[in-house]
Amino acid sequence: MRERISALVGIVLLVLLIGVSYFYAVRSNLADIRYLPSENSPDYVANRIAVVEFGPDGAPRNRVIAARAEHYSDDRVNAEQPMYVSLTPGKAQVTARSDRGWTNDAGRTVLLDGNVRISRAPWNGTPELSFETQRLTVYPDPERFVSDTGVVFRRGADSTTASGMDYSYADGTIELAGRVRTHIVRK
């Protein structure tokens, strides 16, 4: 009888040792498994999205709207039909829109492509301003818009064409570059 009890205790100890060994073997293999997202696969996709950025005082600074946006793990964002709207208190509203847009640096610079249009609402007695181009770089923090492609600038009824531009909304300055031609309508 004693031999049977000894054999039974030995079997239980061996089964227990096998079970513990199996548990730690599986656990160590699972600990090494990590999810590595593909650079070509978005983290998330949003349709009809609107994002509002707020300043330190809690007031809205700008709003970005898109028909579709794809965000990637390296902070890239691709958007279809993006629109940027400034909401700076005490300044005229500026809107920039295009067919496509993207950022590769979490929104510090935004590239707009295809039928780009910027418009500034009439302000303090000045007429509406508008720009049309095919490619534009937006710098949201300094409130600057830069294009190195042909641009058509309109201020009221007057129009100007140029090879490029730098529009600082914060300073209210416009620099037109290369082959500038202006048509001023008589009053």
- At residue 115 the predicted structure's pLDDT band, cuts being 50, 70 and 90, is very high
- Note down the domain range covering 134: 82-183
- Give the Cα separation of 133 and 116 in Å (integer): 5
Whether 52 is in a domain gets the answer no
Are residue 20 and residue 104 in the same domain, yes or no? no
Residue 99 has pLDDT above 70, yes or no: yes
pLDDT value of residue 100 = 94
Whether 50 is in a domain gets the answer no
Are residue 22 and residue 99 in the same domain, yes or no? no
43-59 mean pLDDT? 87
Chain segment 13-45, per-residue pLDDT in tens: 888 888 888 887 777 766 666 666 666 778 888
What are the two backbone dihedrals, phi and then psi, of residue 152, each rounded to the nearest 5 degrees?
-115, 120
Residue 2 has pLDDT above 80, yes or no: no
pTM for the whole structure: 0.68
β-pairing, 129-139 vs 144-147, is: antiparallel
Chain segment 140-184, per-residue pLDDT in tens: 777 888 988 989 988 888 888 898 899 888 787 888 888 888 887
Mean pLDDT comparison of 2-6, 84-88, 124-128, 131-135, highest-scoring range: 131-135
CATH assignment of the domain containing 114 = 2.60.450.10
| Count of Cβ atoms closer than 10 Å to residue 60 Cβ | 14
Chain segment 61-78, per-residue pLDDT in tens: 888 899 999 988 888 889
